[in-house]
């Protein structure tokens, strides 16, 4: 079955898909102004005159030009009970939609649930993105870090991605040195890497429209004893998290497997974010590996990260992240950069 057919089979009512990533996933059609109206036996691809010629290349859909004001055009088209993507539609968009004849029913996660389990073509693209990412990390680690600005190292990663055939970065590369590493979502700054710094590098390539995600923490020279101990604890937790990933595992329990090791150490309370997240067309998608994941269970074909961190304000931080494909009996680790503490000089 095609992706559209799988979605149609699961619908209780017509569904309006307005999230452009979901439109792309279902049809391979890219547009900043398009929506799908999906019924059990009919799919209409709604867009405007800028995109209609390209839209006609999509098999199995009817193409409608409803003008530049997408939601105004949809309001005149919809009737009866129709589901809409509640997490995508803005208040302004909803007001336009409900001005028509339809009875709108909020829906959540229908397409995202399909996206969470990757098919063979998706996995091939993600594997290639991970291979490029691993090679880029290896090349960066062969260069000196000391005396270079974080933003220069981030730019070097971008150059290496381009040289190795990536379409781009999955997200802006994080390079966080010294005390900046204590911020989980630090942005590369003009700080110069200094002797004794831990340097957290978080990056990923895009290949074939699919993302990779990897984090390694390097050291410039010799770190303080507390930072070295933090690295060792984080690595043990990361390996335990990887070992816990398999089809059928509760996502929150995978998180707990790694988290309890950090909480039992001197670094209790220093790991605040979730253990990981799904990766695919977007670098953050379902499923999430975190305490709040409820009864979510991993499925074979999920692609997830395992990325515990320890963050010591004013001193530095550690994060170690791999990208994995969930299998029936464990996981295939896609990122193969060394995980021992590598000195970059």
Contact (Cβ atoms closer than 8 angstroms) between residue 325 and residue 334: yes
Largest interatomic CA distance in the chain? 68
Fold of domain 3-115: Creatine Amidinohydrolase; Chain A, domain 1 (3.40.350)
Partners of 201 in the β-ladder = 175, 216
Helix ranges, the chain (H):
3-10, 20-27, 52-55, 70-77, 91-97, 110-115, 120-141, 150-163, 225-244, 251-263
User: Listing from the earlier edge strand, what are the strands of the sheet with 322-327?
Assistant: 285-289, 276-278, 303-306, 322-327, 330-333
pLDDT score for 240: 98
Residue 1 in this model has a pLDDT that exceeds 90:
no
User: Tens digits of per-residue pLDDT, 258-313?
Assistant: 999 999 999 999 999 999 999 999 999 999 999 998 899 999 999 999 999 999 99
Residue 171 in this model has a pLDDT that exceeds 90:
yes
**Which uninterrupted H or E stretch holds 216?**
strand 214-219
The two tokens of residue 118 are: 């990757």
Domain 3-115 identical in fold to domain 120-343: no
Neighbours of 133 (CB within 10 A): 31
Q: Mind giving me the DSSP string for 131-197?
A: HHHHHHHHHHHTS--TT-BHHHHHHHHHHHHHHTT-SEESSPPEEEEGGGGGSTTPPP-SPBP-TT-
Bond from prior residue into 313 cis (ω within 30 degrees of 0): no
Torsion angle of C-alpha atoms 334, 196, 189, 130, degrees rounded to 10: -10
| In the chain, % of residues over pLDDT 70 | 100
User: Tens digits of per-residue pLDDT, 75-123?
Assistant: 999 999 999 999 999 999 999 999 988 899 999 999 999 999 999 999 9
Q: How far apart are CA 27 and CA 24, in angstroms?
A: 5
Q: How far apart are CA 304 and CA 194, in angstroms?
A: 33
**In which band, very low, low, confident or very high, does the pLDDT at 53 lie, cut at 50, 70 and 90?**
very high
Rounded to the nearest integer, the mean pLDDT of the chain is 96
pLDDT score for 58: 96
Q: How far apart are CA 245 and CA 327, in angstroms?
A: 8
Q: How far apart are CA 242 and CA 306, in angstroms?
A: 6
Domain 120-343 maps to which CATH number in 1.10.150.450, 3.90.1150.10, 3.40.50.10680, 3.90.230.10? 3.90.230.10
Mean pLDDT computed over 195-210: 98
pLDDT score for 293: 82
Residues in Cβ contact with 71 at an 8 Å cutoff, skipping those fewer than 6 apart: 89, 92, 93, 96, 97
The domain segmentation of the chain, as residue ranges, is 3-115, 120-343
pLDDT score for 281: 98
pLDDT score for 333: 98
Mean pLDDT computed over 127-140: 98
Q: How far apart are CA 345 and CA 119, in angstroms?
A: 42
Nearest to 109 by CA among 120, 101, 117: 117
């Amino acid at each position: 079955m095609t992706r559209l057919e799988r979605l149609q089979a699961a619908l209780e009512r017509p569904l309006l898909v307005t999230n452009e990533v979901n439109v792309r996933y279902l049809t391979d059609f890219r547009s900043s102004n398009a929506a799908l109206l999906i019924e059990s036996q009919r799919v209409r691809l709604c867009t405007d005159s800028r995109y209609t010629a390209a839209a006609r290349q999509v098999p199995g859909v009817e193409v409608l030009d409803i003008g530049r004001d997408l939601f105004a055009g949809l309001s005149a088209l919809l009737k009866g009970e129709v589901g809409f993507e509640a997490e995508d539609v803005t208040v302004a968009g909803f007001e336009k939609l409900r001005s028509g004849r339809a009875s709108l029913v909020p829906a959540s996660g229908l397409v995202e649930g399909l996206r969470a389990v990757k098919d063979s073509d998706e996995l091939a693209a993600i594997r290639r993105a991970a291979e490029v990412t691993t090679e880029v990390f290896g090349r960066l680690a062969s260069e000196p870090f000391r005396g270079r600005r974080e933003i220069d190292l981030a730019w070097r990663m971008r150059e290496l991605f381009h040289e190795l055939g990536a379409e781009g970065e999955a997200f802006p590369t994080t390079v966080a040195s010294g005390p900046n590493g204590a911020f989980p979502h630090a942005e590369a700054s003009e700080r110069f890497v200094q002797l004794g710094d831990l340097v957290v590098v978080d990056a990923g390539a895009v290949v074939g429209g699919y993302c990779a995600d990897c984090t390694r923490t390097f050291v410039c020279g010799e770190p303080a004893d507390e930072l070295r101990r933090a690295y060792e604890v984080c690595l043990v937790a990361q390996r335990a998290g990887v070992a816990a990933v398999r089809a059928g595992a509760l996502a929150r329990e995978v998180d707990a497997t790694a988290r309890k090791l950090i909480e039992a150490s001197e670094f209790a309370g220093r790991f605040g974010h979730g253990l990981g997240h799904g990766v695919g067309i977007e670098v953050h998608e379902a499923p999430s590996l975190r305490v709040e994941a409820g009864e979510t269970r991993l499925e074979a074909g999920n692609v997830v990260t395992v990325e515990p961190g320890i963050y010591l304000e004013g001193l530095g931080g550690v994060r170690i992240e791999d990208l994995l494909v969930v299998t029936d009996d464990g996981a295939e680790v896609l990122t193969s950069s060394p995980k021992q503490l590598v000195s970059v000089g």
